[in-house]
Amino acid sequence: MPVEVKADVTGKVWKVEAKPGDALEEEDPIIILESMKMEIPVSAPTDGKVVDVLVAEGDPVKEGQTVALFE
């Protein structure tokens, strides 16, 4: 069952680092948010695979919003 990966801060998607099907290790970035002129990675919660990325570059994101699905 996929795990919801949530944004820690409100900001804008600066860069999408991973795509569905990518195998990542724990703490590898899935997306990078820009908030208050800082780049904040949203990382893989564990070793596993990206199921889906629910945002695109330039999208606004709210704190707690699900930005990706991971298994």
* Rounded average pLDDT over 64-70: 98
Q: Which helix (H) or strand (E) holds 12?
A: strand 11-16
So what's the pLDDT on residue 1? 87
- Domain spans of the chain, in order of start: 3-70
Does residue 69 surpass a pLDDT of 90? yes
> What CA–CA distance (Å, rounded) separates 71 from 60?
24
Its CATH class, for the domain covering 3-70, is mainly beta
Model pLDDT, residue 24: 98
User: What are the angstrom distances between the C-alpha of 12 and each of 45, 52, 70?
Assistant: 20, 18, 21
Please state, in angstroms and rounded to a whole number, the distance separating the CA atoms of residues 17 and 3. Answer: 18
pLDDT, tens digit, for every residue of 6-65? 999 999 999 999 999 999 999 999 999 999 999 999 999 999 999 999 999 999 999 999
